[in-house]
Amino acid sequence: MDRRSLLKASAAGSAALAAPFVVTRAAHAQNYKSEYRVSTVVGPAFPWGKGAEIWIDLVRQRTQGRINMKLYPNVSLINGDQTREFSAIRQGVIDMAVGSTINWSPQVKELNLFSLPFLAQDHAGLDALTQGEVGKRTLQIIEKAGVVPLAWGENGFRELTNSKREIRTPADMKGLKFRVVGSPIFNDTFTALGANPTQMSWADAQPALASGAVEGQENPMHIFTAAKLHTMSQKFVTRWGYVADPLVYVVNRDIWNSWSPADRDIVRQAAVDAGKQEIAIARKGLSGNDLGMIKEVEALGVKVTTLTDAEKDQFKKAIKPVYDKWAKQIGSDLVKRAEAAVAARKKA
């Protein structure tokens, strides 16, 4: 072989070898962003933020860094206004998120399903909802609303806390000022219970609790401890288990479509894996024989009251009109299926 044909041959060889890499790298350069912004309300000190962090790490490892996600806690991409999160994901202001159905309910009314008081009842009931047909339908509704859902996570059962007194009956709530999340069903629920609710973001809730502008709030126990709500005069906790707050791992549709099918599979599977781990973290100390979280809260000088079923019934009775009103708005069919799924659950 003379020098020219040798050069040609080796050029062809290296071009053939390099071609797939050139194509993928060019595709990445064109379609893949150097960073994908992941929104959450709270950071990695909380199970919720930790669950997002696990997802981010799994995707980075499994894509060898092709998909580089970064956590933006405190819904900072939308200045803390958590009820705008869903619209922002849809519009591409946010690329990806691990979000609460509560915060997305103003845009997707069916998601109020999970805020129907005393629907899920316990962890098995929540699993019966999210892991069954109702969960599938809910994810389809999110998809139809323009965002790609991948997996479930969990914030947790939202318990009642306040600075004034032990709450065992609706009468104990009378006139107390509660911060509630910015989804109108919560306003209706607390009003029906005789309390005085004010809607505000989580960012505004903490200074309002600290100053005494509001006297109480509702959030899962892990939020209570990680945000140190006992330092904001929250001396009474009532475990009433009225709302189980699931999370959903999602991606903006255009971002999703910009990835190769193989990368989409990786991101989806990583969300499923991260979600499972996150749910275990969210339930730690709060399920089965492990009630360590309750002891932890009591050790902070907080009185923790766990309602009996008979006591819960009084609350259920008081909020029945709210339940019925919202069941209609959510869609009676979906609500009936949800009630049936919970009734048929395998109790732990």
Q: Rule CB under 6 A: which of 225-264 touch ligand X2X? A: none
Q: Which two tokens stand for residue 313?
A: 């019934």
Residues 6+ apart with CB under 8 A from 60: 67, 68, 69
Which residue's CB atom is positioned nearest to ligand X2X?
A: 202
Nearer to ligand X2X, 201 or 252 (CB): 201
Nearer to ligand X2X, 205 or 270 (CB): 205
Binding flag, residue 181, ligand X2X (CB under 6 A): yes
Q: Please identify which residue in 63, 83, 100, 107 interacts with ligand X2X, judged by CB under 6 A.
A: 100
How far apart are the C-alpha atoms of 316 and 143, rounded to whole Å?
32
Q: Which two tokens stand for residue 126?
A: 């929540």
How far apart are the C-alpha atoms of 200 and 326, rounded to whole Å?
21
Q: Which stretch binds ligand X2X (CB under 6 A): 58-66, 97-105, 160-168, 294-302?
A: 97-105
The least distance separating ligand X2X from the CB of residue 302, rounded to whole angstroms, comes to 18
Binding flag, residue 102, ligand X2X (CB under 6 A): yes
- Residue 249 backbone phi and psi in degrees, to 5: -90, 125
Binding flag, residue 185, ligand X2X (CB under 6 A): no
Strands, E assignment, the chain: 36-39, 69-72, 96-100, 147-162, 177-180, 196-199, 216-219, 236-252, 303-306
How far apart are the C-alpha atoms of 234 and 225, rounded to whole Å?
11
Q: Which stretch binds ligand X2X (CB under 6 A): 23-31, 49-57, 98-106, 254-262?
A: 98-106
Binding flag, residue 219, ligand X2X (CB under 6 A): yes
Binding flag, residue 105, ligand X2X (CB under 6 A): no
Q: Please identify which residue in 38, 41, 302, 304 interacts with ligand X2X, judged by CB under 6 A.
A: 41
Nearer to ligand X2X, 181 or 266 (CB): 181
Q: Are 122 and 287 in contact (CB under 8 A)?
A: no
Q: Are 300 and 229 in contact (CB under 8 A)?
A: no
The residues binding ligand X2X (CB under 6 A) are 41-42, 82, 100, 102-103, 155, 181, 202, 219, 223
